[in-house]
Chains A and B, each alone.
Chain A
Amino acid sequence: MSKEDEFTRVIKENEGVIFKITTVYTDQPEDQQDLYQEIVYQLWKAYGSFRGDAKVSTWMYRVALNTAITRLKKEKRKGNRVGIDQVVLKQTENYDIEFEEKLKILYAHIKMLSDLEKGLILLVLEGKKYEEISLITGLTPTNVGTRISRIKQKLKTQIVEE
């Protein structure tokens, strides 16, 4: 299997994860499309240096989250976008209204957090253990724990204030 084939397989297997990350870090559909493409591009760039010493998912989360936090905001949107609006943005069209509403609330709560907190809660929701979160984020497992309990507290306060 060529490098290109392997890469496209990894992306296809994880497209849902990329979609969720882009949803958490952007507000506008256009920004989401830009970020989605940027993440795929950065993953492609980093794929050559991926030595397989970490899990593919750990590597992918690291690159994707790093791309999301460093993306230059307010850039002029130039150039063509590959038609991924059909691919990613309408993935929620089959959901029922109640679920869609819950989803909106969930994303709204996450978006109120800081960039670092967004990444942490996203990894918690993805079911990652503290050790893996520590590998991705570079924080110590104890620090991950402390920060996550602080985020939980923050989320509770947000919910009470609503």
Chain B
Amino acid sequence: MELEEMQTVWSEISNQLDKQKKLTDKMIIMMTQEQYRKKWNKIAYPEIFGTIICFGMAILIFLNINQLETWYNIFFGLASAVVLIVLPILSLRSINKMSGINFYENSYRDTLIKYTKNKKQFQSLQKISYYLSFLLIFLILPVTSKILGGKDMFTGIKNLWPLLVFIPAGITFFVFFTKWVKKCYGKNINEAESILKDLESNE
């Protein structure tokens, strides 16, 4: 199909569509109202729910910091709390930035650049989040063991076999996990970079 033929088909569909106007005033208003309501369901609810859980866990750690007793348990506790507070804040900030682009003031090119930049940033953050979440599993283990079970994971457990299995298994899992994360986000980030390169090099 040549471009000329494409234009003929396009104008034919335009003519047909013009003849078939079916939207009603009520439908248009309903669409805007429904979409406004849906906004919050789509992004904010899962994010806010996750944030509440993370903050709740961080508060639990802070309230029980005295129970952690030893310096290393306190260190793990504080490190876990920092991850639990920082991660959701960064994620919410990033989503807010992505959805805050002004569609009217910005041209198509500017929107594409802004959106791609924010998306790249978001994807990079997601990548870091995955690594931090993995780290959190290890950090939070001795903390929960002490706070919820009352046992020091390093001195209070007599049988070391579970740890000897858990640590190598964790490292093996981490190697595969890293590869997977790299594959998932690397492609998207590279694509975003090439779009930006193309748009910004053609002034």
Q: List chain A positions with a Cβ less than 8 A from chain B.
A: 4-5, 7-8, 11-12, 15-16, 19-20, 36-38, 40-42, 44-46, 49-50, 59, 62-63, 65-67, 69-70, 72, 75-76, 78-84, 86-88, 91-92, 94-95, 99, 102-103, 105-106, 109, 114-116, 119, 125-127, 135-140, 143, 146-147, 152, 155-156, 159
- Complex alpha-carbon distance, A147 and B203, angstroms: 12
- Complex alpha-carbon distance, A63 and B203, angstroms: 22
Question: Is there a chain A Cβ closer than 8 Å to B70's Cβ?
Answer: no
- Complex alpha-carbon distance, A156 and B1, angstroms: 8
- Complex alpha-carbon distance, A84 and B155, angstroms: 65
- Complex alpha-carbon distance, A140 and B98, angstroms: 26
Q: How far is the CB of A99 from chain B (nearest CB, A)?
A: 7
Find out whether the CB atom of A8 lies under 8 angstroms from the CB atom of B28. yes
Q: How far is the CB of A151 from chain B (nearest CB, A)?
A: 9
Chain A at the B interface: mostly helix, strand, loop or mixed? helix
Q: How far is the CB of A69 from chain B (nearest CB, A)?
A: 6
Chain B at the A interface: mostly helix, strand, loop or mixed? helix
List 7 additional A-B contacts (Cβ < 8 Å) besides A70-B101, A147-B202, A152-B3: A7-B28, A65-B108, A70-B103, A80-B34, A103-B9, A103-B13, A139-B107
Find out whether the CB atom of B35 lies under 8 angstroms from the CB atom of A15. no
Q: Digit string of B10-37 for contact with A (CB within 8 Å is 1, else 0)? A: 1111101110111101011111101111
- B34 contact set on A, CB distance < 8 A: 37, 79-82
- A115 contact set on B, CB distance < 8 A: 112, 195
Q: List chain B positions with a Cβ less than 8 A from chain A.
A: 1-3, 5-7, 9-14, 16-18, 20-23, 25, 27-32, 34-38, 41-43, 98-99, 101, 103-112, 115, 195, 198-199, 202-203
Find out whether the CB atom of B108 lies under 8 angstroms from the CB atom of A66. yes
Find out whether the CB atom of B108 lies under 8 angstroms from the CB atom of A46. no
Find out whether the CB atom of A79 lies under 8 angstroms from the CB atom of B38. yes
Contact partner of A82 (CB less than 8 A), chosen from B31, B101, B106, is B31
* A/B pair count, beta carbons within 8 Å: 163
Nearest 5 A-B pairs (CB), nearest first? Answer: A138-B107, A16-B17, A41-B35, A138-B109, A46-B104
- B106 contact set on A, CB distance < 8 A: 66, 138
Supposing A4-B29, A116-B199, A140-B203 touch, asked if A102 and B101 sit within 8 A by C-beta, the answer is: no
- B37 contact set on A, CB distance < 8 A: 79
Supposing A72-B98, A82-B31, A143-B202 touch, asked if A91 and B20 sit within 8 A by C-beta, the answer is: yes
Q: How far is the CB of A42 from chain B (nearest CB, A)?
A: 5
- Complex alpha-carbon distance, A62 and B105, angstroms: 9
Find out whether the CB atom of B31 lies under 8 angstroms from the CB atom of A62. no
Contact partner of A40 (CB less than 8 A), chosen from B2, B17, B22, B31, is B31
Supposing A11-B23, A87-B22, A109-B6 touch, asked if A78 and B42 sit within 8 A by C-beta, the answer is: yes
